[in-house]
Structure 1
Amino acid sequence: MKLLSLNRNIIALGANSFFTDFSTEMILPLLPIFLERFLHASKSEIGLIEGLAEFGVAMLIALSGFYSDRLGRRKGLTVFGYGMSNIIKPLAFFAQSSSMIATIRIGDRLAKGVRVAPRDALISASTPKEISGFVFGFHKMMDGAGALAGSLTAFALLYLWGESEGTFRSIFAISLIPGLISMGILIFLVTDAPFTPAVRRFHPESLPGEFYWLVGFQSLFSLFAMNYSFMLLKAESNGLALAMIPLSYALYNLTQSTFAIPIGKMADRFGKATLLSIVYLAFGLGALAMASGTVAGVWLGFGIYGFFAGGFNALAKAIISDTAPNELKATAYGVYYTAVGITTLISLTAAGWLWDHYGSIYPFMIAAVSAIFLAIALFMMRRHLLCH
């Protein structure tokens, strides 16, 4: 499948995601370190902030998806969500406390919650079923490429300007520039995909059983996994120099961008559930590498984690695109993200508490063992997700 076969909306939404992630990833690899080093936040506080942020995005995705399906249009909510996010993130420049960072982080995630379901439904509306894995892989690749550019820019500025608090704040402010570019692309190059909204009220049985099998596995996985923030903190704990942390994060983004399209293409050929079980296994191996406590484990862990990230949500989105009715696609994405967001809040809060009380190895070992177990279970039960 060649990129030239993608329609203009898919390409423009990919470019929009590239510049949005460029902006976001100038900030995210630095934020946990900024919280810990300059604002003196504990691991429990950082875990709670990240958990609440992910929970907030999940709740709004559900509402936004439901409203988008009733509205009969997608673009307006997508523009509003991206606009909020790109304005809120650079405000980290002014933060003087962990609570201010929490407000900014949660606000950014709430903005993401507004845009994700209608954006994914907009992508789905332009995607034939037989190439859905490839299309969502392409979109994830553009995410990863933008994230790579952002994290490399953060590394370069940190290297050139030094590791001071002022450097961190300057990088936060500069992130506004790619954010504004992304908004221009979205407003002027993306066209809406109007449809006849559903007249019936949503009932859980309106979505197929394959969808709920997916939600169950993804929620269980998220209950035991952790996000990038704890991996960044573990990198510092393992002895990686502060200036090198954005570079290790860039490796994660490079791997994510490199493998996103191949994962999607293999999923279209061999089955999306099969590939999803493989990315579960990858996460488990990456968590084991991080748990080793070595600098080499950090580099290996981030590299493997990038492979995992290239497929985790992209494959889930493709399965939803294949199975959910057109008039309920945004609602389906909303239900999915809500379930994952609730379990992520529990997971990150527990991981921070475990780290503060028992050390960093426990959350990573629990995540590793759980991911490997779920990978085996999903592979054995993959027929229930239809796309096996």
Structure 2
Amino acid sequence: MKGARRHPAGAGRQRAREGCRLGPRGAFSGADEKPRRRIEGIEERRRGKRAGRDGGGMPENSRALPRNVRALGAVSLANDTASDMIAPLLPAFVTGVLGLSPAFLGAIEGVAESTASLLKLVAGWYSDRLRRRKAFALAGYALSNLVRPLIGLAGAGWHVLALRFGDRVGKGIRTSPRDALLADAVGPEQRGRAFGFQRALDNVGAAVGPLLAAALLLVFPQNLRLVFLLSVVPGIAALIILATQVREERPERARKGVEPGVAKSRSGLTPAAGGDGGPGLPGTTSAPADARRSAASPLRGGVPRGALRVYLSAVLLFTLGNSSDAFLALRAQDLGLPLALLPIAWMLLSLVRALTAVPGGRLSDRIGRRPAILAGWFVYALAYAGFAMASEAWQV
């Protein structure tokens, strides 16, 4: 129309920006609420899509666990299926097939577990320093799953010792980087649940493995070597899942302190500090304090050195009093449990762990880590006292 007033291109967008000026804390102010809500909605959708692609952070109120958590749980399931096809039968193999003493079995397990414990600290430190957590986890899983089945070819005690040493070296290399991948995938409010989920699938695998071993022993009676060699199949499955399904944040994003899964959008707006969902200043990065702390060394992060020393001392005392599960299998065999039923007993133990892992993780989110750990250690002490006093196989 002739008398109509023509607005220059982009004038509407300019007015929207003028009505939504940022306040001193990065919050919107102004009379017009629609542009603010529209921009916030766009940013929320973009953050959600990015989190789904990267397998990283997720909205606080979401109940779905990220892709990385699910994938790492599947890796643990397959790996423990392979591991626990061997674990309940190893004492019988060492003392029965190879004719070695229980003391030698204890030496094997002591060397193996000590190696794993020392390497967890070293591998965790290097994976933080190099920002290559997936590479460390993949190397550790590969070493364990290629070395472990070779126990089926062992003809002497030192063969088993060397192969168990290699298996535990792999465990030491992978455990801390894998746990770091898990912790990076979720916010603090979901970490107990995420770790509980991973531990639950870990223990499901520890139940499936003995079940497969028992089935194979029914088909091939007393052929422990064949069972050990066939454990390579689920082990290879674990490597494939880890290599193809787990994603790692780019090192430069982690160094900048950006919470996993939350990247700067194309509009240049990022979430405001404090996690209130409002946009921050254009072209800047505002990350929660938890994300900045996660990039720091755990020995210098949010845990005071004194408290960390007390915790590590308590863990050391608990570990000294905690025997290898191999001796539980040996104890059951001494009380008359048949060889074919050893994997079934091991499976029941793993099922109990699997059923309590997720509730235990959620409980630690609610009541705190310290009370949950103390309760677990107390139950553990009662159980070991029961093992010592058991007089029949069914009691074990």
Same-fold call, TM cutoff 0.5? yes
Shift of 1:57: 1.0
1:271 aligns with 2:368: yes
2:34 corresponding residue in structure 1: none
**Contact kept in structure 1, 2:128 and 2:297, CA below 8 Å:** no
Q: Does 1:192 align with 2:248?
A: yes
Aligned to 1:212, which of 301, 309, 325?
Answer: 309
Q: Distance in 1 between matches of 2:316 and 2:137?
A: 25
1:162 and 2:202 aligned:
no
Partner residue in 2 for 1:247: 344
**Structure 1 residue 214: Cα displacement:** 2.1
Pairing 1:1-388 to 2, within 5 Å after superposition: 5-163=64-222, 167-193=223-249, 194=251, 195-196=254-255, 207-208=303-304, 209-291=306-388, 292-298=390-396
- The offset of 1:170, in angstroms, is 0.5
For the residues of structure 2 that align with 1:295 and 1:59, how far apart are their CA atoms?
35
- Partner secondary structure for residue 282 of structure 1: helix
> Relative to 1, partners in 2 of residues 1:138 and 1:286: Cα closer, same or farther, differing over 3 Å?
same
Normalised TM-score (structure 1): 0.72
Give 2:169's aligned amino acid: L
CA distance in 1, matches of 2:73, 2:157: 33
SS in structure 2 opposite 1:5? coil
Whole-angstrom distance in 2 between the partners of 1:297 and 1:216: 32
Aligned residues: 294
CA distance in 1, matches of 2:316, 2:130: 28
Q: CA deviation at 1:203?
A: 10
For 1:53 and 1:15, locate their aligned partners in 2 and report how far apart those are by CA, in whole Å.
25
2:137–2:175 CA contact under 8 A, matched in 1: yes
Letter in 2 for 1:175: S
What is the CA-CA distance between 1:221 and the residue it aligns to? Answer: 0.8
Matched residue SS, 2:84: helix
Give the structure 2 partner of residue 311 of structure 1: none
What is the identity, as a one-letter code, of the residue corresponding to 1:125? Answer: D
Deviations 1:215-248 (A, max 9, x none): 1211111111112011010001112111111110
Q: Structure 1 stretch 280-289 or stretch 9-18: which is displaced more?
A: 280-289
Give the 3 Å change call, closer, same or farther, for CA 241–155 of structure 1 in structure 2.
Answer: same
3-state SS of paired residue (2:337): coil
Q: Matched residue of 2:100: which SS?
A: coil
Cα drift, residue 288 of structure 1: 2.1
Question: C-alpha root-mean-square deviation of aligned residues, in Å?
Answer: 2.2
* The 10-residue stretch of structure 1 (94-103 or 151-160) with the greater mean CA deviation from structure 2: 151-160
Q: Deviations over 1:328-365 (max 9, x none)?
A: xxxxxxxxxxxxxxxxxxxxxxxxxxxxxxxxxxxxxx
Shift of 1:205: 5.7
CA distance in 2, matches of 1:54, 1:260: 22
Q: 1:170 to 1:203 in 2, by over 3 A?
A: closer
- The amino acid of 2:394's aligned partner reads A
Contact 2:214 2:344 in 1 (8 A): yes
Report the residue type matching 1:297 in the other structure.
Q
Q: Greater share of helix residues, 1 or 2?
A: 1
CA distance change for structure 1 residues 145 and 3 in 2, over 3 Å: closer, same or farther?
farther
SS at match of 2:326: helix
> Which ranges of structure 1 fall in alignment gaps of 5 or more residues?
299-388
What's the CA shift for 1:160? 2.8
Offset, 1:249: 0.3
What's the CA shift for 1:202? 6.9
CA distance, structure 1, for counterparts of residue 136 and residue 63 of structure 2: 28
Change (3 A) 1:203 1:285: closer
Instruction: Flag the 1:41–1:266 CA change in 2: closer, same or farther, 3 A.
Output: same
- d(CA) in 2 for partners of 1:125 and 1:201? 12
By relative contact order (CA 8 Å, sep 6+), the higher-ranking structure is 1
Give the direction of change, closer, same or farther, for the CA distance of 1:203–1:158 in structure 2 (3 Å limit).
closer
Deviates more, 1:146-155 or 1:211-220: 211-220
Q: Measure the CA separation in 2 of the matches of 1:3 and 1:12.
A: 18
* 1:216 counterpart letter in structure 2: S
SS at match of 1:278: helix
CA distance in 2, matches of 1:118, 1:131: 18
CA distance in 1, matches of 2:318, 2:169: 23
Percent identical residues: 34
After superposition, what is the alpha-carbon deviation per residue over 1:42-68, rounded to whole angstroms, capped at 9, x for unaligned? 111111110100111122222211111
Q: Distance in 1 between matches of 2:240 and 2:181?
A: 18
Q: Which moved more, 1:21-30 or 1:237-246?
A: 237-246
